[in-house]
Amino acid sequence: MERLDDVDNLPTLPHIFTLLMGMIESDGSSAADLARIISSDQSLTARVLKFANSPLFRGRDRIENVAKAVVRLGFDEVKAIALTAMVYDGLFRQSPGAYFNRAQFWKHSALVAHATSELVTQFSMHAFTPVAFVAGLLHDIGIVVLDRFFPDRFSSLIRRIDGRRELLEQAEEAGEYPPHASIGAYLLHRWLLPQTVWQAVCGHHSCRDGRLSCTPLAGVILLADLVVRRCKIPFYVSEPMPDSMKHAKIVLAALQKTQAGSRGFSMEEFARSFAACVPVHLEKLRELVG
Protein backbone atom coordinates (compact mmCIF):
# COMPACT_ATOMS: atom_id res chain seq x y z
CA MET A 1 0.00 0.00 0.00
CA GLU A 2 2.98 2.34 0.54
CA ARG A 3 3.52 2.28 -3.21
CA LEU A 4 -0.04 3.55 -3.66
CA ASP A 5 0.79 6.53 -1.45
CA ASP A 6 3.39 7.48 -4.04
CA VAL A 7 0.92 7.44 -6.91
CA ASP A 8 -0.13 11.05 -7.00
CA ASN A 9 -2.54 10.80 -9.91
CA LEU A 10 -4.86 8.12 -8.53
CA PRO A 11 -8.29 8.43 -10.13
CA THR A 12 -10.62 10.96 -8.56
CA LEU A 13 -14.36 11.32 -8.70
CA PRO A 14 -16.21 14.58 -9.35
CA HIS A 15 -17.40 16.69 -6.44
CA ILE A 16 -21.00 15.86 -7.31
CA PHE A 17 -20.32 12.21 -6.38
CA THR A 18 -19.28 13.29 -2.87
CA LEU A 19 -22.45 15.38 -2.58
CA LEU A 20 -24.57 12.41 -3.65
CA MET A 21 -22.85 10.11 -1.16
CA GLY A 22 -23.39 12.68 1.62
CA MET A 23 -27.08 12.78 0.77
CA ILE A 24 -27.36 9.00 0.62
CA GLU A 25 -25.76 8.66 4.05
CA SER A 26 -27.93 11.22 5.78
CA ASP A 27 -31.28 9.95 6.97
CA GLY A 28 -34.35 11.64 5.67
CA SER A 29 -33.00 12.76 2.30
CA SER A 30 -35.87 13.45 -0.04
CA ALA A 31 -36.59 13.29 -3.75
CA ALA A 32 -36.26 17.09 -3.78
CA ASP A 33 -32.72 16.88 -2.28
CA LEU A 34 -31.72 14.35 -4.94
CA ALA A 35 -33.19 16.47 -7.75
CA ARG A 36 -31.43 19.59 -6.40
CA ILE A 37 -28.00 17.93 -6.31
CA ILE A 38 -28.34 16.42 -9.79
CA SER A 39 -29.65 19.69 -11.22
CA SER A 40 -26.51 21.47 -10.02
CA ASP A 41 -24.48 19.48 -12.57
CA GLN A 42 -25.27 20.10 -16.22
CA SER A 43 -23.86 16.93 -17.67
CA LEU A 44 -25.46 14.69 -15.03
CA THR A 45 -28.80 16.44 -15.57
CA ALA A 46 -28.55 15.75 -19.30
CA ARG A 47 -27.77 12.05 -18.63
CA VAL A 48 -30.71 11.62 -16.27
CA LEU A 49 -33.15 13.35 -18.64
CA LYS A 50 -31.94 11.35 -21.63
CA PHE A 51 -32.45 8.17 -19.60
CA ALA A 52 -35.91 9.22 -18.36
CA ASN A 53 -36.99 9.94 -21.94
CA SER A 54 -35.50 6.76 -23.39
CA PRO A 55 -37.75 4.09 -24.90
CA LEU A 56 -37.26 2.09 -21.68
CA PHE A 57 -39.30 4.54 -19.65
CA ARG A 58 -41.02 6.88 -22.06
CA GLY A 59 -44.37 8.00 -20.78
CA ARG A 60 -46.80 10.18 -22.66
CA ASP A 61 -45.01 13.47 -21.98
CA ARG A 62 -41.43 14.45 -22.44
CA ILE A 63 -39.67 14.97 -19.12
CA GLU A 64 -37.80 18.26 -18.99
CA ASN A 65 -36.56 18.55 -15.44
CA VAL A 66 -34.90 16.27 -12.91
CA ALA A 67 -37.67 16.58 -10.32
CA LYS A 68 -40.13 15.05 -12.81
CA ALA A 69 -37.58 12.39 -13.74
CA VAL A 70 -37.40 11.37 -10.07
CA VAL A 71 -41.20 11.07 -10.01
CA ARG A 72 -41.24 8.97 -13.19
CA LEU A 73 -38.29 6.70 -12.41
CA GLY A 74 -38.33 6.63 -8.62
CA PHE A 75 -35.76 7.78 -6.05
CA ASP A 76 -33.70 4.57 -6.05
CA GLU A 77 -33.52 4.31 -9.83
CA VAL A 78 -32.32 7.91 -10.22
CA LYS A 79 -29.81 7.49 -7.40
CA ALA A 80 -28.44 4.35 -9.12
CA ILE A 81 -28.26 6.11 -12.51
CA ALA A 82 -26.42 9.10 -11.06
CA LEU A 83 -23.85 7.01 -9.16
CA THR A 84 -23.27 4.68 -12.11
CA ALA A 85 -22.83 7.56 -14.57
CA MET A 86 -20.38 9.36 -12.24
CA VAL A 87 -18.22 6.29 -11.67
CA TYR A 88 -18.27 5.36 -15.36
CA ASP A 89 -17.27 8.86 -16.48
CA GLY A 90 -14.64 9.22 -13.77
CA LEU A 91 -12.96 5.87 -14.13
CA PHE A 92 -13.82 4.02 -17.27
CA ARG A 93 -14.21 6.41 -20.12
CA GLN A 94 -10.49 7.22 -20.27
CA SER A 95 -9.07 4.03 -18.79
CA PRO A 96 -7.20 1.97 -21.38
CA GLY A 97 -8.02 -1.31 -19.58
CA ALA A 98 -5.09 -3.10 -21.17
CA TYR A 99 -5.12 -6.39 -19.28
CA PHE A 100 -8.76 -7.05 -18.56
CA ASN A 101 -11.98 -6.87 -20.52
CA ARG A 102 -13.33 -3.46 -19.65
CA ALA A 103 -16.83 -3.99 -21.06
CA GLN A 104 -17.24 -7.22 -19.12
CA PHE A 105 -15.81 -5.63 -15.98
CA TRP A 106 -18.36 -2.87 -16.20
CA LYS A 107 -21.29 -5.28 -16.69
CA HIS A 108 -20.03 -7.41 -13.79
CA SER A 109 -19.76 -4.38 -11.49
CA ALA A 110 -23.20 -3.01 -12.36
CA LEU A 111 -24.91 -6.40 -11.98
CA VAL A 112 -23.20 -7.05 -8.63
CA ALA A 113 -24.45 -3.60 -7.53
CA HIS A 114 -28.05 -4.57 -8.34
CA ALA A 115 -27.74 -8.02 -6.75
CA THR A 116 -26.13 -6.59 -3.57
CA SER A 117 -28.94 -4.07 -3.27
CA GLU A 118 -31.62 -6.74 -3.70
CA LEU A 119 -29.96 -9.13 -1.23
CA VAL A 120 -29.63 -6.45 1.45
CA THR A 121 -33.35 -5.73 1.08
CA GLN A 122 -34.22 -9.42 1.13
CA PHE A 123 -32.10 -10.00 4.26
CA SER A 124 -33.61 -6.91 5.98
CA MET A 125 -30.11 -5.52 6.58
CA HIS A 126 -31.52 -2.01 6.76
CA ALA A 127 -28.35 -0.38 8.08
CA PHE A 128 -26.67 -1.20 4.76
CA THR A 129 -29.54 -0.26 2.45
CA PRO A 130 -28.24 3.24 1.55
CA VAL A 131 -24.74 2.05 0.59
CA ALA A 132 -25.40 -1.45 -0.82
CA PHE A 133 -25.59 -0.35 -4.46
CA VAL A 134 -22.43 1.75 -4.43
CA ALA A 135 -20.48 -0.91 -2.48
CA GLY A 136 -21.45 -3.52 -5.09
CA LEU A 137 -20.66 -1.15 -7.96
CA LEU A 138 -17.16 -0.43 -6.65
CA HIS A 139 -16.27 -3.82 -5.12
CA ASP A 140 -13.63 -4.73 -7.76
CA ILE A 141 -12.35 -1.19 -8.36
CA GLY A 142 -8.87 -2.25 -7.23
CA ILE A 143 -8.54 -4.03 -10.60
CA VAL A 144 -8.74 -0.68 -12.41
CA VAL A 145 -5.96 0.72 -10.17
CA LEU A 146 -3.75 -2.34 -10.70
CA ASP A 147 -4.23 -2.24 -14.45
CA ARG A 148 -3.60 1.46 -14.77
CA PHE A 149 -0.78 2.03 -12.29
CA PHE A 150 0.94 -1.35 -11.91
CA PRO A 151 0.58 -2.87 -15.40
CA ASP A 152 3.68 -5.10 -15.09
CA ARG A 153 2.52 -6.76 -11.86
CA PHE A 154 -1.04 -7.00 -13.15
CA SER A 155 -0.12 -8.54 -16.49
CA SER A 156 2.01 -11.11 -14.68
CA LEU A 157 -0.99 -11.92 -12.43
CA ILE A 158 -3.19 -12.34 -15.51
CA ARG A 159 -0.62 -14.68 -17.10
CA ARG A 160 -0.59 -16.74 -13.91
CA ILE A 161 -4.42 -17.02 -13.93
CA ASP A 162 -4.32 -18.03 -17.60
CA GLY A 163 -1.56 -20.56 -17.12
CA ARG A 164 -2.65 -22.22 -13.90
CA ARG A 165 -6.43 -21.86 -14.18
CA GLU A 166 -6.62 -20.27 -10.71
CA LEU A 167 -9.27 -17.96 -9.31
CA LEU A 168 -8.16 -14.33 -9.24
CA GLU A 169 -7.98 -14.08 -5.45
CA GLN A 170 -6.21 -17.48 -5.17
CA ALA A 171 -3.59 -16.33 -7.66
CA GLU A 172 -3.17 -13.08 -5.71
CA GLU A 173 -2.59 -14.98 -2.50
CA ALA A 174 -0.37 -17.72 -3.88
CA GLY A 175 1.76 -15.36 -5.94
CA GLU A 176 1.93 -12.67 -3.28
CA TYR A 177 0.32 -10.09 -5.50
CA PRO A 178 -1.34 -7.09 -3.86
CA PRO A 179 -5.01 -8.07 -3.37
CA HIS A 180 -7.43 -6.06 -5.52
CA ALA A 181 -9.87 -5.98 -2.58
CA SER A 182 -7.42 -4.10 -0.33
CA ILE A 183 -6.33 -1.77 -3.12
CA GLY A 184 -9.95 -0.93 -3.89
CA ALA A 185 -10.67 -0.28 -0.21
CA TYR A 186 -7.63 1.99 -0.01
CA LEU A 187 -8.88 4.05 -2.95
CA LEU A 188 -12.40 4.31 -1.52
CA HIS A 189 -10.94 5.38 1.82
CA ARG A 190 -9.00 8.10 0.00
CA TRP A 191 -12.23 9.15 -1.70
CA LEU A 192 -13.76 9.50 1.77
CA LEU A 193 -16.48 6.97 1.08
CA PRO A 194 -18.25 5.69 4.22
CA GLN A 195 -16.38 3.14 6.32
CA THR A 196 -19.17 0.61 5.74
CA VAL A 197 -18.37 0.71 2.02
CA TRP A 198 -14.57 0.40 2.07
CA GLN A 199 -14.62 -2.21 4.84
CA ALA A 200 -17.01 -4.35 2.82
CA VAL A 201 -14.93 -3.95 -0.35
CA CYS A 202 -11.80 -4.86 1.63
CA GLY A 203 -13.33 -8.11 2.87
CA HIS A 204 -15.31 -9.28 -0.14
CA HIS A 205 -12.97 -12.23 -0.82
CA SER A 206 -11.64 -12.95 2.64
CA CYS A 207 -15.08 -14.21 3.65
CA ARG A 208 -15.07 -16.96 1.02
CA ASP A 209 -13.89 -19.44 3.64
CA GLY A 210 -16.64 -18.43 6.08
CA ARG A 211 -14.57 -15.95 8.10
CA LEU A 212 -16.94 -13.03 8.23
CA SER A 213 -14.33 -11.26 10.30
CA CYS A 214 -14.93 -8.19 8.24
CA THR A 215 -18.52 -7.08 7.92
CA PRO A 216 -21.72 -8.82 6.86
CA LEU A 217 -21.94 -6.52 3.83
CA ALA A 218 -18.72 -8.12 2.52
CA GLY A 219 -20.48 -11.51 2.66
CA VAL A 220 -23.48 -10.10 0.80
CA ILE A 221 -21.22 -8.66 -1.94
CA LEU A 222 -19.56 -12.05 -2.38
CA LEU A 223 -22.96 -13.77 -2.59
CA ALA A 224 -24.05 -11.17 -5.16
CA ASP A 225 -20.84 -11.79 -7.11
CA LEU A 226 -21.50 -15.56 -7.12
CA VAL A 227 -25.10 -14.99 -8.25
CA VAL A 228 -23.88 -12.86 -11.17
CA ARG A 229 -21.28 -15.50 -12.11
CA ARG A 230 -24.05 -18.11 -12.10
CA CYS A 231 -25.89 -16.01 -14.68
CA LYS A 232 -23.07 -16.92 -17.08
CA ILE A 233 -22.06 -13.34 -17.76
CA PRO A 234 -18.51 -13.71 -19.12
CA PHE A 235 -15.94 -12.60 -16.52
CA TYR A 236 -13.44 -9.80 -17.13
CA VAL A 237 -10.35 -12.00 -16.75
CA SER A 238 -10.00 -15.59 -17.85
CA GLU A 239 -10.27 -17.25 -14.43
CA PRO A 240 -12.20 -20.54 -14.28
CA MET A 241 -15.83 -20.52 -13.16
CA PRO A 242 -15.88 -20.78 -9.34
CA ASP A 243 -18.00 -23.45 -7.66
CA SER A 244 -20.59 -20.83 -6.82
CA MET A 245 -22.96 -23.07 -4.84
CA LYS A 246 -20.17 -24.41 -2.64
CA HIS A 247 -18.81 -20.93 -1.87
CA ALA A 248 -22.30 -19.47 -1.42
CA LYS A 249 -23.19 -22.16 1.14
CA ILE A 250 -20.17 -21.29 3.28
CA VAL A 251 -20.78 -17.53 3.14
CA LEU A 252 -24.49 -17.95 3.77
CA ALA A 253 -23.92 -20.18 6.80
CA ALA A 254 -21.66 -17.49 8.29
CA LEU A 255 -24.17 -14.72 7.49
CA GLN A 256 -27.06 -16.64 8.99
CA LYS A 257 -25.40 -16.65 12.41
CA THR A 258 -25.87 -12.90 12.75
CA GLN A 259 -28.39 -11.83 10.12
CA ALA A 260 -31.77 -13.33 10.95
CA GLY A 261 -33.20 -12.07 7.65
CA SER A 262 -30.90 -14.33 5.65
CA ARG A 263 -32.25 -17.54 7.20
CA GLY A 264 -34.39 -19.61 4.87
CA PHE A 265 -32.81 -17.96 1.82
CA SER A 266 -32.56 -20.10 -1.29
CA MET A 267 -29.57 -19.24 -3.47
CA GLU A 268 -31.01 -21.21 -6.42
CA GLU A 269 -34.31 -19.36 -6.28
CA PHE A 270 -32.67 -15.96 -5.96
CA ALA A 271 -30.23 -16.71 -8.80
CA ARG A 272 -33.16 -17.78 -11.01
CA SER A 273 -35.16 -14.62 -10.37
CA PHE A 274 -32.08 -12.41 -10.72
CA ALA A 275 -31.16 -14.07 -14.03
CA ALA A 276 -34.60 -13.17 -15.36
CA CYS A 277 -33.86 -9.46 -14.67
CA VAL A 278 -30.35 -9.44 -16.12
CA PRO A 279 -31.42 -8.47 -19.69
CA VAL A 280 -33.32 -5.44 -18.33
CA HIS A 281 -30.37 -4.36 -16.16
CA LEU A 282 -28.03 -4.67 -19.13
CA GLU A 283 -30.38 -2.76 -21.42
CA LYS A 284 -30.57 0.08 -18.89
CA LEU A 285 -26.79 0.07 -18.62
CA ARG A 286 -26.45 0.31 -22.41
CA GLU A 287 -28.89 3.20 -22.46
CA LEU A 288 -26.93 5.00 -19.73
CA VAL A 289 -23.34 4.55 -20.79
CA GLY A 290 -23.69 3.47 -24.41
Q: Which residues bind Fe ion (CB under 5 A)?
A: 140, 225
Task: Classify the phi-psi angles of 75: left when phi > 0, otherwise alpha if psi is within -120 to 50, otherwise beta.
Answer: alpha
Q: At what angle do helices 31-39 and 42-52 cross, to 10 degrees?
A: 120
The nearer residue to Fe ion, 73 or 202, going by C-beta atoms, is 202
CB of 169 to Fe ion, least distance (A): 7
The nearer residue to Fe ion, 24 or 200, going by C-beta atoms, is 200
The nearer residue to Fe ion, 118 or 140, going by C-beta atoms, is 140
Reduce the secondary structure of 134-173 to three states and give it as a string.
HHHHCCCCHHHHHHHHCHHHHHHHHHHHHHHCCCHHHHHH
CB of 166 to Fe ion, least distance (A): 14
The nearer residue to Fe ion, 140 or 147, going by C-beta atoms, is 140
DSSP string, 86-147: HHIIIIISS---TTS-HHHHHHHHHHHHHHHHHHHHHTT-GGGHHHHHHHHHTTTTHHHHHH
CB of 226 to Fe ion, least distance (A): 9
DSSP string, 33-70: HHHHHHHT-HHHHHHHHHHHTSTTT--SS---SHHHHH
The nearer residue to Fe ion, 147 or 225, going by C-beta atoms, is 225
The nearer residue to Fe ion, 166 or 225, going by C-beta atoms, is 225
CB of 205 to Fe ion, least distance (A): 6
CB of 142 to Fe ion, least distance (A): 8
CB of 155 to Fe ion, least distance (A): 18
Neighbouring CB atoms inside 10 A of 236's CB total 21
CB of 60 to Fe ion, least distance (A): 40
Reduce the secondary structure of 223-269 to three states and give it as a string.
HHHHHHHHCCCCCCCCCCCCCHHHHHHHHHHHHHHHCHHHCCCCHHH
Q: Judge whether 146 and 114 are in contact, CB under 8 Å.
A: no
The nearer residue to Fe ion, 49 or 227, going by C-beta atoms, is 227
